[in-house]
Amino acid sequence: MSAAPVRIEGISSLAAVPLSRLLMVSLTDGHNLVQRICDEWRSGANRFGREGEALFAAWRRGKLVGVCGLNRDPFSDARPDDARLRHLYVDPAARRVGVGRELTLRCIDRARQGFTRVRLRCHQPAAIALYLTLGFAPVNERDATHALEI
């Protein structure tokens, strides 16, 4: 795909977002991140609805190409002002053109409204490279591999 603008929107209801194609792509790609968003939303376990939380969708050329969420970090008992970047997934056909960067930056911007740090867990080399370019640093913490002080 050549360069095209990426539009990031907040998601307040999964019913309003056509996730089925991105879900199938992600499962075929060997990732269950979109499935987890759907399952947790359906069960009520995570709707990204608490204060400071958000779920974002990335659109490119009229097609949903990515999702990413921000939660209060459920694993950070000692720091209630920690946020957690969750379930970043970008369609392989839309990778390496800034979609993941824009989704992550939008989550960081949201986190600045009430958190002091963003944590995440990631073992994918390409995603780790992205996080490092955005200022995340490796951490040796339970339930996190990288963090960003904001």
Please give the pLDDT value at position 130.
97
The CATH number of domain 6-149 is 3.30.420.10 = no
Q: What is the pLDDT of residues 22-46, one digit of tens each?
A: 999 999 999 999 999 999 999 999 9
Q: How many CB atoms lie within 10 A of CB 43?
A: 9
The structure tokens 């990426």 sit at 6
Global pTM exceeds 0.85: yes
Residue 112: CB partners within 8 Å, gap ≥ 6?
150
Please give the pLDDT value at position 47.
97
